Chains A and B, each alone.
Chain A
Amino acid sequence: MDYFRDLLISGLTKGSIYALIALGYTMVYGIIALINFAHGEIYMIGAFTALIASMVLSQLGMAGWGLLLAVGAVAVVYAAMYGWTVEKIAYKPLRQASRLAPLISAIGMSIFLQNYVQLVQTPNFLTFPDLIPEISFLEPISHIVNKTQLAIWIITALIMVVLTCLIKFTRMGMAMRAVAQDKDMARLTGVNIDRVISTTFVMGSSLAAVGGLLIGCYMQQIDFYIGFLAGMKAFTAAVLGGIGSIPGAVLGALVLGFAESFAAGYLSSDYEDVVAFVLLIVILIVRPGGLLGSSQTQKV
């Protein structure tokens, strides 16, 4: 039973991180129907920026929760800036283009960002410092749940709540939902489409940066390539839950996290990465709309 519990905990942790990245995919897809391949790279850049910020700030004498918050803020701001710039360069000039063009442009951007980080920083793994301070009330159960896992759950849950409120109750959230439903109609009612799209990229990228920071604390090492696999899996999670749907992305991410964790625990850890892709293919065949998505008939 202990083994099962450990797998459950690690599955939940992984699922939470996937959820943070998957939300960015699903929001962008919901609004402009584009698979933002560069999103995984934004997550990786978030992790790198967090690492650099933590080194600089701790040299300046910061520590504890203050350091974590400052590092998080820097990572979020920078990832958001990258997301905004990527959208302006690689996607905005292609609004009127054919279906394939933005997708290929996104792949190009992803390769560019990966190699950019590899060239200006390093192709090797870097050690990530443990930024999360000790949580005293966890002492009695620290052999079951460690502080990083708990922090990941809490932060992810908080972000989900905030995001849901943002989308449900703010003007920008309403504009986003309108654009997702019908771009032209939203434009007619006075919604500034470009601004909504930019905001979506900024929000998605910020979430990815939080994911990057947390995964750094959890795995304790990062390299320039972490974005590719994480991005792929997060996208799988988004599709699994029904792309375009925010609760769907979270559900899909958790399902994927558990599936991977149990497959690694009970089958073979070699095939951990295969599980995600097999799950993706199966779900698309059986239920193309995803778990929470509605299968829509295409109108001509």
Chain B
Amino acid sequence: MPRDFTTGINWGREFKSSFAAALWMCLLTCPMVAFKINAAENTIDYRWNYLIYVAAGTFILSGVWRFMLARRDYIRQSKAEAEFEGPAPDAPRGPAKTWVDVVMSSKYRNQGIGVGLLVLASLPLWASPYTINILITALIYISLGLGLNIVVGVSGLLNLGYVAFYAIGAYTYALLNHYFGLGFWVCLPLGALASTLMGLMLGFPVLRLRGDYLAIVTLGFGEIVRLVLVNMGDITMGPRGISNISPPSLFGLDLNKVVKPVLLEWVPTMSPNLDLNKAFLFFIMMAVVIITIVVVFRLENSRLGRAWLAMREDEIACQAMGIDRTRAKLTAFALGATWAGLAGVVFAAQVTFINPTSFTFMQSVMILSIVVLGGMGSIPGVIIGALVLILLPEYLRAFSDYRMLIFGALMVLMMVFRPGGLIQSVRETYVYKPLEGGAGGEAKK
């Protein structure tokens, strides 16, 4: 075992390092923080007191930072050494179980999921319209995250223009609804189809590109789609956007007129302000997310899913094993796009007004942070990531200014300290178990 990183801390040296970092940060942020430009009077406001906060913050954070780095390296090193020495004879084999595994393998798993779904499904009967609206958004982001997870997490293709497919889904519905009066249910598959086709269209030319080039081309693609939406004012109304998009219909039934009075009479806890179309959308979105989870889960362990994983780990080796790389890449792109398209249609129906500002690069980053924060390649991780990133800012309105700042910092910190995300995806691994009198092995999860 490597020497414990906590023994023999040289406090004097640590203090000096922190002090130096604090001084450096003061110097670094001095012009930006201490000299605020007053644009109205064309003068400078001096804010020297801010530098004290910067110094104090850096002093503490720098210590924490070095402690965490040392801890990270210590853990990695002891893991590497343990691997080198082989497992202890009585040690449990396979990767350590996370709490998700414990929950998912519990005896009451199915009952638990059932109760959870029932509670979710009953929400429109007692929650506020505001909550329902936020939850629809959260569900949309869960399905976006799961879709991007196929592309980034499972297949390892960094797509920074994912929001373009979301925009295509939303605009497909909005335009068809605006010009031809087509309804939600017709447009839901059409939007998904349009996105899929665009995914294929983008997929073909970028097949040959390696990771970073791919990232930049998809980023460019996202910007192209947005700029086209802004500039094709004759069709898309440009920056003004399209309004009055109709909500989904249920066999032509006017939910708010027919069903709502009956429900209000029977369920006293229901909010009278609730728009039942929103509640209906909530159920649709729940169904979409459940279908997504099932499909993604099944895909991951399928032939195709394994091909994606192999492609993520090593493209050349995977080709050498006879995997059709072209097919694997294209399907990953197209399938990821499909979910963005579906989510886009629902988004258009939810907000009933869309314009290109909803589909900026920052949205792509938001979806990417969901995948990264949650854990690349892990389904429960992505769900939790989406819930954290969507629900927390809604309930912490006071910090809304700092939201993107915190996002940026979180992305860096996650990559440095926990690159696997909140819930790391656990893959089937093959653990070698020597048998008495001969070689042998056993597959274990």
Q: Which residue of B is nearest A33, CB measured?
A: B212
* Chain A residues with CB below 8 A from B44, complex form: 52, 55-56, 59
- Fill in one digit per residue for A229-254: 1 if any B CB lies within 8 Å of its CB, else 0: 00010011001000000000000000
A271 lies within 8 A of B211 (CB): no
Inter-subunit contact A93/B405 (CB<8 Å): no
Size of interface on B: residues with Cβ below 8 Å to A: 59
Q: Taking the complex as formed, is A256 at the interface, i.e. its CB lies under 8 A from any CB of chain B?
A: no
Shortest C-beta distance, A49 to chain B (Å), equals 5
**Contact segment of B122-130, B214-222, B267-275, B301-309:** B214-222
Give Cα A288–Cα B69 distance, bound, in whole angstroms: 38
A81 and B412 form a contact (CB under 8 A): no
Chain B contact residues: helix, strand, loop or mixed: helix
Question: Contact size class for A?
Answer: 35 or more
Does chain B have a CB within 8 A of A53? yes
Inter-chain CA distance A271–B233, complex, in Å, is: 13
Binds B, one of A113-121, A155-163, A194-202: A113-121
Chain B proximity mask over A38-66: 1 for CB below 8 Å, otherwise 0 = 00000001001101110110010000000
Interface hit among B31-39, B95-103, B288-296, B433-441: B31-39
Cβ-based interface call for A2 (8 A): no
Q: Can you report 18 residue pairs joining A to B where beta carbons are below 8 Å apart?
A: A81-B27, A82-B28, A100-B158, A107-B368, A108-B408, A108-B409, A120-B29, A121-B36, A124-B39, A228-B361, A274-B227, A277-B223, A277-B224, A278-B224, A280-B216, A281-B217, A284-B217, A298-B316
Where the two chains meet, the residues of B that have a C-beta atom closer than 8 Å to any C-beta of A are 24, 27-29, 31-33, 35-37, 39, 42-44, 50, 69, 152, 156, 158, 160, 205-206, 208-209, 211-213, 215-217, 219-221, 223-224, 227-228, 230-231, 316, 361-362, 365, 368, 372, 376, 401-402, 404-405, 407-412, 415-416, 419
* Complex A-B, nearest 10 residue pairs according to Cβ-Cβ distance, in ascending order: A108-B411, A112-B408, A111-B408, A277-B220, A105-B415, A115-B405, A108-B412, A270-B231, A115-B404, A101-B415
17 further interface pairs, Cβ-Cβ under 8 Å (given A35-B215, A105-B415, A280-B216): A33-B212, A34-B212, A97-B415, A104-B411, A108-B408, A109-B412, A111-B365, A120-B32, A127-B42, A232-B220, A232-B223, A274-B223, A274-B224, A277-B220, A277-B223, A281-B221, A284-B213
Q: Which residues of A are at the interface with B, using a C-beta cutoff of 8 A? A: 33-35, 45, 48-49, 51-53, 55-56, 59, 74, 78, 81-82, 85, 89-90, 93-94, 97-105, 107-117, 119-122, 124, 126-127, 228, 232, 235-236, 239, 268, 270-271, 273-274, 276-278, 280-281, 284-285, 288, 298, 300
